[in-house]
Structure 1
Amino acid sequence: MTLDTRPRCIALMGPTASGKSAYALELAERLGGEIVSVDSALVYRGLDIGAAKPTRDEQARVPHHLIDVREPWQPYSAAEFARDARVAIDAILARGRIPILAGGTGLYFRALLDGLADMPEADPASREAITADADARGWAALHADLAVVDPAAAARIHATDAQRIQRALEVQRLTGRPISDWQRESTRVRFPARVLKLVLSPADRAVLHARIEQRFDVMLGAGFLDEMRALRALPQLRAHPAPLELPAVRAVGYRQAWEFLDGACDAATFRARAIAATRQLAKRQFTWLRREVDARWFDPLAQRAQLDDAVAGFIGKLAP
């Protein structure tokens, strides 16, 4: 067997509100590492409180990468993320430090660690037509259309995941081939490091649900709605023809806050909808995580010693 001499890298995966960010920060300080965010909301400037973005103090304690790299009205694809993350990881390794990948965006992790198919670029005209169709019939109807032309993709994509439904239909219409075919043909580029995949998740789903609810209330108390008002006031968002379809605004909690400030519901209903949307996000994340057959699962509270042992066994002795 050939000895794998690549440097080491840790991937901290898990559902939202599972404690990934806190453990990543602690590990980075103990190991002399740097954090690469694998989160599709943290890439956007202005999405701070509602996205649970690391604070300025936390970012000053440990270098963080792939945070605040786009404005909230700008697109940012998984392919762009993979490219930018590889640049950051190569630089971290060149400094002799350990990259710690932390986040819950499965598509970003797959793009980075496994590679993406060489699919066609986004086509504005096609996307505009699909969005207009969705406005007229709803995304559930478009998901049903997708199930006809690409059952495999429809089975993986939730009926409310507008971004992925749009992309799957776009690729199929542009090329005449299902996006699932393109994805099966993805070219793997060897990752530059050995990766220890760790999934952090409370063993009791009720504990996670309680953490989600508590964290959202903390966000509200910290000024989440004021943050949303500031985003809505940005000229680029005010001028956008369909701001609720922007990936940044579709981030969990933000869409519900936007609708609340539009007067679509009362405060109690807004809170309930945002918490429910976050739970649905966690459910989708569990579906992705269960496919990571080489990942090791730990309850970050009940199994903290075992979690530390797994890291120490991979890296070497942990600093106190």
Structure 2
Amino acid sequence: MGKKVKIPTLPLYYSVGQFFEDARQATRDILDNGRVPVVAGGTGLYLRWFIYGKPDVPKASPDIASEAYSELAELQKNEDWDEAVKLVVKAGDPKAQFLAANDWYRLRRSLEIIKASGSPPSAFQVPFDSFKEELGTSLTEDSQNVHSSLDVSEEVKPQDLDYEFICFFLSSPRLDLYRSIDYRCDMLSETDGILSEAKWLLDTGLLPNSNSATRAIGYRQAMEYLLKCREQGGRSSAGEFYAFLSEFQKASRNFAKRQMTWFRNEHIYHWLDASKPLEKVLNFIYNAYHDQTGTLVVPESLRMKKVTSNERENLQLKTYRPKNRHFVSRNDCSDILDWIRSQGEVVNSVV
């Protein structure tokens, strides 16, 4: 039987550092109860910190946190992101200029670290980098390990880490994956899906790309689309809706591609073909956990290729075009356009 882990209500800004503390505590609780923790997810940075540890960045005192907040508060209120970045760069963090626009949490955190330590966040080494240096492993995309015909994770020994991790990356062939992503975006774009959630975010006063939630793929595109509709008095054409859906699908596919690149360079993961029968995949993972040899090799029948070497498949990927199941013709989005019009009328009546 599994054990449920109670997760507290998350704050508006939930950092990778907070995730590390919560996830590691949950891991200890599960192990103390004689269970085996199973961590599932796709955010590479969060998983990297969970496995290798977090950098020893000083925690800001309440006074320093308050001081950093005060210095940026007026600029944030006026939505003057560029001036805020200049302030933090001048304080000592030149890399602040590369932060995503309106990521006020990370900008403020950078200023806190500078005030607490006199150094920018980049001055503190990430544990993962230490492992990489010790092993002499190059984790660039063109690493020769990427093209290895074997899938044996020997780069990181279990005794080097806090726990004995067994890591798997499950994916499908790229074309199948892209089709699944497009179909899911198609399904989520109903009025009771991501559009209604994006409307709720706008109604709370948030703007696209202003925090973690509004930067998320799908939400940002939906919020931008609805914001444009509101500026047009609650009107949208079918072409504008399909442009939103296309951007949503494209951003999702690009994210999947980046994820594959990220995990391709994480040699602790064994790649499994998720398009194979589920029972076969689960049995392999189960047996891998109970394996005592210390060397795990994924059989050819389950192994997922890390790179596409088939010329035909490469050509298909280059010429790929999404095919929707639900939203196909202009008339298919008439309910969406009516809903947007009704929401515009509500907004106007409130104003």
Q: Tell me whether the two structures share a fold, i.e. TM-score over 0.5.
A: yes
TM-score normalised per structure 1: 0.60
1:64-102 CA-to-partner distances (Å, cap 9, x unmatched) read 654x7325xx11111111111122222222232221101
- Percent identity between matched residues is 29
Is 1:100 equivalent to 2:38 in the alignment?
A: yes
1:268 maps to amino acid: Y
Matched residue, 1:315:
290
Distance 2:22 2:102 in 1: 24
**What are the within-5 Å matches in structure 2 for residues 229-308 of structure 1?**
229-233=199-203, 237-238=204-205, 244-263=209-228, 266-302=240-276, 304=278, 305=280, 308=283
Q: Check the 8 A contact 1:33/1:99 in 2, yes or no.
A: no
SS in 2 for 1:199: strand
Change (3 A) 1:220 1:84: same
User: Aligned-pair RMSD on alpha carbons?
Assistant: 4.2
Taking CA–CA contacts closer than 8 Å with sequence separation of 6 or more, which of the two structures ends up with the larger relative contact order?
1
Change (3 A) 1:310 1:244: closer
Distance 1:185 1:133 in 2: 38
Q: Check the 8 A contact 1:93/1:99 in 2, yes or no.
A: yes
Is 1:124 equivalent to 2:72 in the alignment?
A: no
SS in 2 for 1:245: coil
TM-score normalised per structure 2: 0.55
Alignment counterpart, residue 181 of structure 1, candidates 123, 127, 137 = 123
Distance 1:135 1:259 in 2: 19
Matched residue, 2:134:
none
**What are the within-5 Å matches in structure 2 for residues 1-320 of structure 1?**
32-34=1-3, 63=4, 66=7, 69-70=9-10, 74-120=12-58, 121=60, 123-125=68-70, 162=103, 166=107, 170=111, 174=115, 177-184=119-126, 193-202=163-172, 204-221=173-190, 222-233=192-203, 237-238=204-205, 244-263=209-228, 266-302=240-276, 304=278, 305=280, 308-315=283-290
Structure of higher CA gyration radius: 2
* Worse-matched range after superposition: 82-91 or 179-188: 179-188
Deviation at 1:259, TM superposition (A): 1.2
Q: Check the 8 A contact 2:19/2:46 in 1, yes or no.
A: yes
Q: Check the 8 A contact 2:167/2:269 in 1, yes or no.
A: yes
The aligned length equals: 241
Deviation at 1:213, TM superposition (A): 0.8
Question: Where does structure 1 lack aligned partners over 5 or more consecutive residues?
Answer: 1-31, 35-62
Question: Where does structure 2 lack aligned partners over 5 or more consecutive residues?
Answer: 132-158, 230-235, 292-351
Q: Check the 8 A contact 1:82/1:112 in 2, yes or no.
A: yes
Deviation at 1:105, TM superposition (A): 1.4
More strand as a share of residues:
1
Distance 1:138 1:303 in 2: 54
